[in-house]
Amino acid sequence: MGKLMKIVKKLLLLFFLVLIIGVGYLGYQIRQNVQHVMNYEAEVEQAVTENNIPEYKNLVLAIIYTESKGRTEDLMQSSESAYGKRQMIGTTKESIDAGVAFLAQAIEKTNDAGCDIWTAVQAYNFGLDYIQFIKERGGKNSIRLAEEYSKEVLSPLLGNNDQKTYRYYRPQALIYNGGFLYSNGGNMFYADLVKMNEQFIKWLK
């Protein structure tokens, strides 16, 4: 019995050691990502000022973190909103200018509709029609409503009439539904991801 307890203690110690190393590595990676994103702070500050949303600078930085972690030319994945198709943007400045302009438009429409800011953020991923959808359902974004829109509106609109899904291994998804998204249905966890990444920006910049 004593030998068994020693083995159990050693296994528990090993488990906690691996856990500490894993958490430390994750923290290091997050800090590195934040530093990459912060390289574009001046460009973001200029863009949010020009679009009359200076108070949302950290939110834009969080969107960059979410979309690219500051590691591609199209930092805000703005190509589709600006040109209607992917891989049309070739400079970081163009991506920021287009992305911030689209976000400013989403925020204006969201304010006019009486919805919360996270509706605008989710609309950055889903498109501006999502704002009216949320307005008609109380004005506050939630994962439940985002899932309804993804499943019932967006994915069928883009050809997924059979509610096909694919695996998505982010903590938010694993906790909510075991880890999946609807094909062609955008990311129903997008606003929550941006919210989390905005905290990383605030803590580590």
Enumerate the domain spans of the chain: 2-139+193-204
Res 22: pLDDT: 66
> Band of the pLDDT at 30, cuts 50, 70, 90?
confident
Q: What is the mean pLDDT of the chain?
A: 91
Size of the chain in residues: 205
Q: In the predicted model, is pLDDT for residue 3 greater than 80?
A: no
Mean pLDDT, rounded, for 159-163? 94
| β-strand pairing of 180-182 with 165-167 | antiparallel
Task: Specify the pTM.
Answer: 0.88
DSSP string, 5-40: HHHHHHHHHHHHHHHHHHHHHHHHHHHHHHHHHHTT
pLDDT, tens only, 88-143 = 788 999 999 999 999 999 999 999 999 999 999 999 999 999 999 999 999 999 99
> Class of 2-139+193-204 per CATH?
mainly alpha
